[in-house]
Amino acid sequence: MQIQGKTALVSGANGGIGEALVRELLKRGAARIYAAVRKLESAKALTQLDINKIVPVQLDITDEASITAAAAHCRDIDLLFNNAGCNQVTSLMSPTALQAARLEMDINYFGTLAMCQAFAPLLRARGGGLIANVCSIIGLVNLPANGTYCASKAAVHSMIQGIRAELRPQNIQVIGIYPGPVDTAMTAGQDMPKASSLEVAFAICNGVEAGDEYIFPDPMSKEVSAMLAKDSKGVEKQFATYLP
Ligand SMILES: NC(=O)c1ccc[n+]([C@@H]2O[C@H](COP(=O)([O-])OP(=O)(O)OC[C@H]3O[C@@H](n4cnc5c(N)ncnc54)[C@H](OP(=O)(O)O)[C@@H]3O)[C@@H](O)[C@H]2O)c1
């Protein structure tokens, strides 16, 4: 789908990938971008990039009233970027795993699902559109040190497949984005090679414009997805060596 002239909403717009997405959408000529953030003051600097096109919106994706209010305010969207998420960096057998898993499921899975439910009718009323969901390459294979997060992203991946089928007849394209490590607040302090949020946003927008259903926006995610296609058990075994 072309971005030029379209209206988009980006959740978690004050975060690393979210802000980069807003910048890239602006570059590609989006007519309006709703920068959805939990705290409105966190969108202040971003809005200054173009006060005519970037519209801050309060949105907590775990709060039904907040989602309903955002949907009522943003009725003209063509593209929904479900980007908001959290990673508690917790392994499944850690004493805090249940608490972390519940929070991650609440935000990453239930929050994203609630957004799809609230915004799909708006896209349908406009004749169609696109829902892009930021999953993760470790939603396709579990990395034990981030075990609870991976499980929540695996749920997101399954959700993407299900709603893709349900929304296709309504001319709504549902896509999945599966980044590897990206240099944002989420990975701060984790020592590993990371892609920049700007290169990831650039690749995401290329994929959106090319009509891709699966987007692997950085070298590591491309490599892991190719390995998964060839030998998924081998990848699982390799990732199993990265223990907490
Ligand atoms: N960084 C990576 O290596 C990586 C890799 C693969 C996938 N991802 C995914 O990419 C997406 C963006 O992550 P990021 O790396 O840009 O991390 P980030 O800089 O920490 O940004 C996360 C964003 O999500 C928002 N958020 C969290 N809970 C929310 C809620 N309940 N309602 C609304 N917004 C909420 C945060 O808002 P506040 O500022 O208010 O907390 C923040 O804007 C996430 O879905 C993440 O899982 C990241």
> Sorting pLDDT into bands at 50, 70 and 90, what band is 3?
very high
Domains of the chain in sequence order: 7-239 (3.40.50.720)
Centre of ligand 1 to C-alpha 185, Å, is 8
- Arithmetic mean of pLDDT over the chain: 97
Active site amino acids: 149
> Sorting pLDDT into bands at 50, 70 and 90, what band is 244?
confident
Which of 17, 64, 157 best tests ligand 1's pocket when mutated (most atoms within 8 Å of CB)?
Answer: 17
Q: What does the pLDDT look like over 163-221, one tens digit per residue?
A: 999 999 999 999 999 999 999 999 998 899 999 999 999 999 999 999 999 999 999 99
d(CA 162, CA 65): 25
Which of 146, 184, 192, 214 best tests ligand 1's pocket when mutated (most atoms within 8 Å of CB)?
Answer: 184
Pocket-forming residues, ligand 1, beta carbon under 6 Å: 11-12, 14-18, 38-39, 42, 59-62, 83-87, 107, 111, 134, 136, 179, 181-182, 184-187
d(CA 46, CA 142): 34
Q: What does the pLDDT look like over 8-60, one tens digit per residue?
A: 999 999 999 999 999 999 999 999 999 999 999 999 999 999 999 999 999 99
Alpha-carbon distances of 16 from 19, 73, 171, rounded to whole Å: 6, 24, 30
